[in-house]
Amino acid sequence: MKLRRSRSFQGVDDDRWYTEPTINPGSSPPPVDVGYGPQVGLPPSQQMKQRNGVLVWIVWPVLTLGIYHFVWYYKIHNEMLHFDPRQPIKPAGSLLTILFGWIIIVPPFVSYFNTGNRIAACQRAAGLPVTANPWIGFVLLFIFGLTPLYYQFELNKVVQRYAVAPGAPVTLVA
């Protein structure tokens, strides 16, 4: 190892020193973490909750005057985040997108589409064949609002893959 004095951007010397590694011929380079394998520092994966798709789609939203749909949307995003912490999911951001995004028209549709992609990623992480199609979910938005029914049935496939209680730790396959 050699000590070298660093130079600032304009070429003016400053008071910082750094070590320059020496390369020995015939030696292997040090291991580099490329992000594969178990993720260090991430919380363990947790099982999601199985829900009745018909209750999610029509019964609870009618009884709560539509409020349950927003509760359900937040809950599934929060559960997907805890199921696969590697996914960059922001449950509150997704909820705010469908609540207030209608002002610009496009954001809620993008959020529903991305939800389908996230469900597919959860199926992939569980080692299941990916059957969730975001395009089907998008089209079902315009057919009696069937998207929650479809998405909940797809999420239930992931839940059925593991035979443990909601919130219990699970091991992801991929």
pLDDT of residue 142: 97
The pTM is what?
Answer: 0.76
Q: Which of 89, 70, 69 is nearest to 80 (CA)?
A: 89
Identify whether 37 is part of a domain.
no
Q: Residue 49 sits in which domain range?
A: 45-170
Q: What's the structural domain count of the chain?
A: 1
Residue 30's pLDDT band, with cuts at 50, 70 and 90, is very low
Beta strands in 21-163 (DSSP E): 45-46
Separation between Cα atoms, residue 153 and residue 131, nearest integer Å:
10
Percent of the chain topping pLDDT 70: 76
147-161 vs 67-83: helix crossing angle, rounded to 10: 30
Residue 157: inside a domain: yes
Classify residue 81: in a domain, yes or no. yes
Mean pLDDT of the chain: 85
Secondary element (H or E) of residue 6: strand 2-7
The answer to whether residue 125 scores a pLDDT higher than 70 is yes
What are 19's strand-pairing partners? 3
User: Is residue 104 a part of any domain in this protein?
Assistant: yes
Whole-number Å distance between alpha carbons of 114 and 103: 19
Q: 18 in a domain, yes or no?
A: no
* CA angle (168, 173, 174) in 5-degree steps: 125
Domain membership flag for residue 15: no
What pLDDT band is residue 34 in, cutting at 50, 70 and 90? Answer: very low
Q: Would you place residue 25 in the very low, low, confident or very high pLDDT band (cuts 50, 70, 90)?
A: low
For tokens 């805890």, the residue is: 82
Does residue 129 lie within any of the structural domains? yes
Structural domain includes residue 54? yes
